[in-house]
């Protein structure tokens, strides 16, 4: 009799603990989903805002004189970028592999 009671008691405890574990696991999964969904939503919102900065906040000034100055500076920067690119890849000087040497320095 006592053995049967302990067996039943053990079975009941096992059932309750497995139900509690299942509830805990589902709550943990729900919490992870919530955190992941917030993270994904945050990344999507940041990407959306980062790509629309030129639409909401204009890059150049609304004053014509200031805007012309900004456009000139930007075009100068873009022109100098090509020179920097050629200098980085050594395209601005003649090759040293040619049999006919040409002066590659500043004259």
Tens digits of residue pLDDT in 40-78: 999 999 988 877 766 667 788 889 999 999 999 999 999
Distance CA 90, CA 95 (A): 9
Statement to judge: residues 19 and 49 lie in one domain = yes
Look-up of token digits 């497995």:
18
Both structure tokens of 57? 């906040």
pTM: 0.39
Distance CA 5, CA 3 (A): 5
Residue 68 backbone class (left: φ over 0; alpha: ψ -120 to 50; beta: rest): alpha
Mean pLDDT of the chain: 78
Give the pLDDT score at 2.
55
Q: 41: domain range?
A: 1-57
Query: What mean pLDDT do residues 96-105 have?
Result: 66
DSSP state of 102: -
Statement to judge: residues 77 and 42 lie in one domain = no
Q: Does residue 22 carry a pLDDT above 60? A: no
Statement to judge: residues 48 and 65 lie in one domain = no
Statement to judge: residues 49 and 63 lie in one domain = no
Using the Cα atoms of residue 95, residue 96, residue 97 and residue 99 in order, give the sign of their dihedral.
Answer: positive
Most trustworthy range by pLDDT among 10-14, 47-51, 74-78, 97-101: 74-78
- The four Cα atoms 52, 53, 57, 60 give a dihedral, to 10 degrees, of -120
Statement to judge: residues 42 and 72 lie in one domain = no
């Amino acid at each position: 009799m006592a053995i049967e009671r302990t067996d039943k008691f053990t079975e009941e405890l096992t059932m309750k603990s497995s139900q509690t574990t299942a509830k805990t696991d589902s709550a943990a999964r729900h919490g992870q989903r919530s955190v992941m969904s917030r993270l994904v939503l945050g990344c999507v919102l940041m990407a959306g805002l980062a790509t629309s900065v030129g639409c909401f906040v204009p890059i150049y000034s609304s004053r014509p004189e200031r805007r012309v100055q900004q456009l000139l500076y930007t075009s100068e920067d873009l022109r100098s970028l090509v020179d920097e690119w050629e200098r980085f890849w050594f395209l601005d000087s003649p090759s040293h592999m040619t049999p006919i040497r040409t002066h590659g320095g500043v004259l």
